[in-house]
Amino acid sequence: MMVIDPSWQMWATFALIAGAIVLYATERFPLEQTSLALLTALLLLFHFAPLDVDGKNLDARALLAGFADPALIAVLALMVVGQGLIRTGALDEGIRWISQRFQRTPALAMMLILVIIATLSAFINNTPIVVIFIPVMAAVAERLNRGPSRLMMPLSFAAILGGMVTLIGSSTNLLVAGAAASMGQPSLGFFDFAVPGSLLAVVGLCYVVWILPRLLPERASMASEIAGEGKQFIAQIDVRPGSPLVGQAAVAGMIPHLQGMTVRLIQRGEESHLPPFEDVILRPGDTVVVAATRNLLTEALERTPELVETGDSAEAGDEHADASRTPANSVLAEVMVTPASRVIGRNLRLVGFHYHTGCVILGVQRRSRMVRGRMEDIRLEAGDVLLVLGPRERVTDLRFSREVLLIEWSTHELPSRRRAKAALAVFAGVVAIAATGLVPIALAALLGAVAMIGLGCLNVRQAARAVDRQVAMLVAAALAMGTALQATGGAAYLAQHLIDALAHAGPAVLLSALFALVAVLTNVLSNAATAVLFTPIAINTALALGVEPTAFIHAVIFAANCSFATPMGYQTNLLVMGPGHYRFSDYFRGGLPLIVLIWLAFSLFAPWYYGF
C-alpha cells in the first residue's frame, strides 16, 4: 500500500475540520455562520499555501464547487416541489386518512409507515420518498400532539436504512460497484448484499421505531408555539341551504361534522339553545357558535370555505365577505386589540372591520374568560385576539393599523386547492423520471420546481422561501471539507495507519475496523466521496490479506450509508432538518447510537456470513 507523506496542510485541514465540527455541535454560532467561516478559512489556507493535486492547484473553484453540486441542486429543487404540494394542499386527504389510523394505534402505525418507507427506498431513490412523507409526518405529529422533531429524523433514517438492501437503493451503492468493477472485480448483482443489508436494516429500524423518538427533544416551531394548540377562539357558523351541517343532530352535546369543536350556542331566530342541545336538528338559517382552536378552524376553512362564517358578514352586503373567504391567495393571521383602539366597547356589527381593512374576522379569543353568545354581539376589549383572513397585502397593511397589532409570526397561507391536481401530477412526474433514471435526479427536481412555478402551484416568492439557506451552506462546506481532506491525503492517511495497526489481527477485526472508520468519515465527507475513496483501499487490503474482497466491498457500502450523525451526512437528513426544527447536536445524539448498533451487528454477523 502506498505510504502517505503527511504535509502541514493536511494537519491544518484536520484542525479546521475538527474546529468546525465542535462549533456545529455546540451551536455557539449559527450553522450558516460556521459554514461560511470554514469555507473562508479553507480558501485562505490554500490561497497562501497552494497545494498541487495532479498538476492542478486546489483553488477557490474546487473548494466552492459544492454550490453547484448536483446533490445540493436536487435537495433545494425538491424543497420547492415539496412546498408546491403543501401550498396546494394536494396531500391533505391522504394525510387525514393516515392520521385517523394514528389516533388509535400510533406505535403500530408508525412502525408500518417506516417499514413502507424503508421498503420503497430499496427500489426508488430515497430523496423523493422523504419529500413525499415530510408533510405526512408533520400532519401526523400535529394530530398526535407531538412536536415534528420526534418523527422527522426517523423518516430520514428509515429511508437511508432501506437503501442498504439493493444495488439501486442508494447512489452510494452504485458508486462502490462502479469503483470495484474498474479494479477488475466481478460486477455486483441487484440482490448480492440483500441478506446482510436486510439484517442491518431490520436492526436499525427497531432502533428507529422504539428508541430514537425517546432520544429526540420535543421541539415545536416558533409559529406553532405562538399559535398555541390550546387557544380557543369563539367562531360563528351560519347554516346555509346545502351546507353539510343541515340535518345534523347533537350527539352527547357535540355536532358530528364539527369534530373537536365545542358548540356553545345554537341560535334559531330569536330562540337560543344551550348545551346539551337535546332534540335540536340543524336546519338552514341556524347559527352555530363554537369554541375551537386555530388549527381546527383552519382545517374547516380549507376543507369547506363556506362553512366558516364571518362575524362581520352583514356589512357591505355580504358579497365582499364572500370574496374574502375564498382561500386562494389568502392569509390567516392573529391581531390584538390595542389599549388605545377605537373599536374597544363596540361589537363586531359596528366595527366595520372588513370595510376598513379588507380582512374578515373568523374568531375572537379573550384571555380572561370564555364568552357565551353570538360572535357578532361580542363587545371588544383591549387585549382581545382576533383571528382574521384576507389577501396577503391587506393582512400586511395591518402592521400600520392603530386599532389592532398584527402578530407577525402568526401569519399562515391557506392552501390553493385549485392547483392540487397539477401539483400531484408534477410531483408524480418527478418521482417517475428520477426512479427510472431517464434523467439525473437533479435535472428531474429542477424540472419539477420550474413546473410548480409555471403552473401556478406557487409563485417565485413562495419558492424562494422554501429554499433553506442552512442546507445550502452546510452542503457546500461539507463538500469543501471532503475536497480538502482528499487532496491533502488526510483520509488515505487515516486508513493507512488503521490498516497498518490491525494488519496482524485477522480479517474479521480489520473488516470491523474498516467499517468503523468509513462510518465515521462518511459523516464528515460526503458519502459519495467516502465510497470512492475507500473502495480501492478495501480491495487492496483484502488482497493483501489473501481473502475474497467481497466482504470488504460490502463493508464500504454499508458503512458509507451510515450517515446518521450529522445533517450534512446525507441529503435526506438535510431535507428534514427544517421541518423537524433540529440542531446539529440532535443528529449526533440520535445518529451515533445507530451507527454503533449497525457496526456491532455487522461485526458479529460478517465473520459467520462471509466465512472468516
Q: What is the dihedral of CA 280, 284, 286, 291, to 10 degrees?
A: 90
Q: Are strands 56-57 and 330-337 parallel, antiparallel or unpaired?
A: unpaired
Report the half-sphere exposure of 485 (CA within 13 A, side-chain side). 24
Residue with cell 401569519: 411
DSSP secondary structure string for all residues of 513-567: HHHHHHHHHTTTS-HHHHHHHHHHHHHHHHHHHTS-THHHHHHHHHHHT---SSG
The pLDDT value recorded for residue 238 is: 83
pLDDT at 87: 75
Residue of 388, 401, 410, 403 whose CA lies nearest to 330: 388
The reported pLDDT for the residue numbered 202 is: 95
Within 10 angstroms of residue 101's Cβ, the number of other Cβ atoms is 14
Max Cα separation, the chain?
Answer: 95
Per-residue pLDDT of 117-127, as tens digits, reads 898 888 776 77
Q: Which three cell numbers stand for residue 301?
A: 376553512
Least Cα distance to 120 among 129, 110, 111 occurs for 129
Strands 56-57 and 271-273: unpaired
Residue 327 CA: distances (Å) to CA of 109, 123, 171, 228, 418: 32, 38, 41, 22, 10
The DSSP letter of residue 105 is -
Q: Hey, what amino acid is at 238?
A: D
- Ordered domains of the chain (ranges, CATH): 8-48+68-221+469-610 (no CATH), 228-417 (3.30.70.1450)
Q: Give the Cα separation of 365 and 304 in Å (integer).
A: 22
Please name every residue paired with 385 in a beta bridge, in sequence order, or none if there are none.
Answer: 336, 365
Return d(Cα 481, Cα 153) in angstroms, integer. 24
Question: What pLDDT, on the 0 to 100 scale, is given for residue 369?
Answer: 59
Q: Which helix (H) or strand (E) holds 268?
A: strand 262-268
**What are φ and ψ of residue 432, in 5° steps?**
-65, -45
**Residue 107: count of CB within 10 angstroms of its CB:** 11
Cell numbers 369554541 correspond to what residue? 291
CA distances to 71, 500, 526, 532, 533 from 487, rounded to whole Å, are 21, 21, 14, 13, 11
Per DSSP, the three-state class of 347 is strand
Please, are residues 387 and 294 in contact by the beta-carbon 8 Å criterion? Answer: yes
Q: In which residue ranges of the chain is pLDDT below 50? A: 1-2, 222-229, 310-327
**pLDDT value at position 491?**
66
For residue range 364-405, what is the model confidence (pLDDT) as tens digits?
Answer: 887 655 566 677 778 888 888 888 888 888 888 888 888 888
Whole-number Å distance between alpha carbons of 492 and 3: 9
DSSP for 369-389, please give it. Answer: ----S-GGGPBP-TT-EEEEE
Q: Measure the CA–CA gap between 188 and 421, rounded to whole angstroms.
A: 40
